[in-house]
Amino acid sequence: MTSNSDIPSPEELVARAHALIPNLRSRTAACEEERRIPQANLDEMFAAGLFNALKPKPFGGYEMGWDTLCDITLEIAEGCGSTGWIMGVCGGHPLMVTNFTNEVQAEVWDTNPNAIVSSAKMTSGSFKKVDGGYVGSGIMAISSGSQHADWFFAGGSDIEGSDKPLSTLIPLSEVTILDTWQVMGLAGTGSHDLEMTEVFVPDAHAFIGGTRPPGAGLYGGLYKVGHRALGPYTLAAVVVGMSAGALSIFIEGIKSRTSRHGDKVADFQSLQLRIAESAAELDAAKLLIRTNSRIAMEYIGRGESVPRDIHAGLIVDASYASLLACRAIERIFYAGGAGELFLDRDIQRIFRNVQAGRAQFGLNWDVQGTNYGRWALGLEGKQEASEPP
């Protein structure tokens, strides 16, 4: 149990994350080349207590809000996009674990207080009911952080002979990590597929969708209501944080740069305007993330669901924040010239990472913007899913 005297303030925790930016930035090339998060990054984040933000107090956590996780993620992503993605995704997964009983939570955190929980979605295969649990075989897709995780949560899995989805919590040691995440951006997240072969999942580690989870009622606030309205916000925070990091690098580079004719590039008005517009877009994107996550937490902190009209705005705003961040980095990337195209340059790496981040379904502007427009106009018909898969 974490006593209140051992819990840092949200501001202090965010400051700890900010202090890691230089170290994280120094390892971004290695992160991409090795296609995994450097262990030094994780060790520093564990030491700072960042993964404790949403963890329950009985298991050493701080029980802070999703808004704090967004602030932490903004900082970490400014240093390293892939590491920020793991912070934003896996940092929120204690909420998944609290769907299960205290005994199951103890299995996760008592042996290893720093246990990371990834997630995945079954794209082929199914589970079948057996005495005492379920047996599953198949492929679980895109499990960010799987190389560092101890457990993974899988929702929406098929059950043979049933139309109800199954949610499970499974040790990573029970599955095989397939080397599938060979991508142009966010390569360091290690979002590989997982293969299960006749894996037994005890009843205590599973519950059927639409039923009351075994851990329901153990905690209040965020753990009681969930995070459906806030799911895309840590992902948007990654994209915005990455772009903010690129802008910082761009500004520092411009200060000392001269043209081939010996002119100070910093004196070019066109670049000054590009910097100003990108900075304003990123300020607006950060304001959307921080304001909206706090608005949602006001409801969630009281144990209330976010009203539908506010929920609709939250979902579209998260996507729009990432759109602003994409515009911001495109503007400075194309101002960098041919010299920024080399694969050892930081801004081109961040540019690719931002494109990869925005490919996440919850941040897809075409989908989320259309959904909001249909909702605002009162149009009937099935909308696209709004929550991240």
Model pLDDT, residue 38: 98
4-100: which CATH number, 3.40.50.720, 3.30.420.130, 1.10.540.10, 1.10.10.10?
1.10.540.10
Cβ neighbours of residue 259 closer than 8 Å, sequence gap 6 or more: 265
Model pLDDT, residue 384: 57
Model pLDDT, residue 387: 46
Model pLDDT, residue 220: 83
Break the chain into its structural domains and give their ranges. Answer: 4-100, 117-208, 222-377
Same fold, 117-208 and 222-377: no
Model pLDDT, residue 385: 53
Classify residue 120 by burial, with Cβ atoms within 10 Å: 0-12, 13-18, 19+. buried
User: Domain 117-208, CATH 2.40.110.10 — does that match?
Assistant: yes
Q: Measured in Å, how far apart are the chain's first and last C-alpha atoms?
A: 32
Query: Topology of 222-377 in CATH?
Result: Butyryl-CoA Dehydrogenase, subunit A; domain 3 (1.20.140)
Spell out the per-residue pLDDT of the chain, length 389, in tens.
Answer: 666 778 999 999 999 999 999 999 999 999 999 999 999 999 999 999 999 999 999 999 999 999 999 999 999 999 999 999 999 999 999 999 999 999 999 999 999 999 999 999 999 999 999 999 999 999 999 999 999 999 999 988 999 999 999 999 999 999 999 999 999 999 999 999 999 999 999 999 999 988 889 998 898 888 887 677 898 999 999 999 999 999 999 999 999 888 788 889 898 999 999 999 999 999 999 999 999 999 999 998 888 889 999 999 999 999 999 999 999 999 999 998 888 889 999 999 999 999 999 999 999 999 999 999 999 999 976 565 544 43
pTM of model > 0.75: yes
CA atoms within 13 Å, Cβ hemisphere of 115: 24
From residue 93, how far is each of 119, 169, 383 by CA, in Å? Answer: 8, 11, 26
Give ∠ CA 342-348-354 in degrees, rounded to 5: 155
In whole angstroms, what is the distance from residue 26 CA to residue 41 CA? 10
